[in-house]
Amino acid sequence: MLRKPIEDIVREEIETVRARRVILDHLEDGLKTGTELREAIRRDMQSQEVKKKGRALSKREAEKIEVTSPKLYHNTRKLEELGIIISWKQSQYRLFELDPRAVLPVRRALGISKPLMYITSLSNPEDQRPFVQWLVNNPHFNPKKLLVFVEATRWTRGVSRIMDRFIPDDAFRVWTTEWREVPEEVTGGEEEIGQGSLQETYEFVEDEILKHIHAHNIVFDLTLGPTLITLAMAKLAHEYSTTAFQVSRYDIADTEVSYY
C-alpha cells in the first residue's frame, strides 16, 4: 500500500489534534526542549479557554490548566512514528526538531512563508546569460538567494562566474548568488565520464540544502546541469517534497515549464 504524501499526513495531524499543531508550529522555528513544548501547549490551551469563556481566566483557573509529560509524550511519539519529527536525549533534557524532510511540508501546511532559494546547476559558463535573463523576467519565481552547483572539473579557477552582471540595472529583482563546486572525485574526471557517484553527489548537494532549508523555501531547476547533479537534485526534490522543474528554453516569450 502506497504511503500518503507527507504533506497530507501533516495536514491530517494538525487538523485533528490541536496539540500536534502547536508542537509543529513551534518546531518550525527551530529546536525545542520538551519543557518548551509543554509550555507552548499549555499557553495555547489557556488561550482556547479564554475564547470559550469570553473573558480572562482567573489565576486559579489558569493554574488548573497543565500539560503532563505523558500527554506530551503521546503526541510527540505519534509525530515521530509518522516521520515528521525526531528527538534525542541530551543530558537531562529531551530535544525535539522537525525531520529535515518534513520541514517544507509542515511549513506549507501551517501557511508559513519564507524567502525563496532557487537551486540550479549549469554545465557551461555560457549558460549564465540566457538563464539570468529568463529568471529576471519570470513571473513564477522571485528568489532571494540563488544556489548554483557546478562540476569542479569544468568550472576551474579562472572560469568567469558573472551571473549577477547579467541582471539589468533597472531590474526590480535582486538576489544573492552562491556557487558550489562538486569535487572531481564525486562527479568523476573528464577522462572518466559516467564514473561519478550519484549517491555522493546527492550527499554533497544535500549537505548544502540542510544549511539553508530552515531559513528558505526551495525549488530546483533541472534544466541545464550535468547528468549526475541533475539526478541528485531531482531525487532531493522528491525526498524533501518540493518543486522541481525543467524549462524547454530560457526565453520568457517562448518557453514551457514542465514540473515534476
Residue 89 identity: K
**Closest by Cα among 39, 6, 32 to 106:** 6
> CA 146, CA 141: separation in Å to the nearest integer?
11
How many Å apart are CA 100 and CA 82, to the nearest integer?
13
CATH number of 6-110: 1.10.10.10
Q: What is the pLDDT of residue 190?
A: 57
Residue length of the chain: 260
Query: What residues does CATH 1.10.10.10 cover in the chain?
Result: 6-110
Q: Where in the chain is the domain with CATH 3.40.50.10770?
A: 116-259
**pLDDT at residue number 191:** 55
Q: Are 160 and 190 in contact (CB under 8 A)?
A: no
pTM here is 0.88
Q: What is the pLDDT of residue 195?
A: 73
CATH entry, 116-259, from 3.40.50.300, 3.40.50.10770, 3.30.420.40, 3.30.70.60 = 3.40.50.10770
Averages of pLDDT over each 10 residues, the chain, 260 residues: 81 94 95 94 85 75 80 95 95 93 96 96 90 86 93 76 72 83 82 74 96 96 95 96 93 84
Task: Determine the pLDDT at residue 171.
Answer: 67
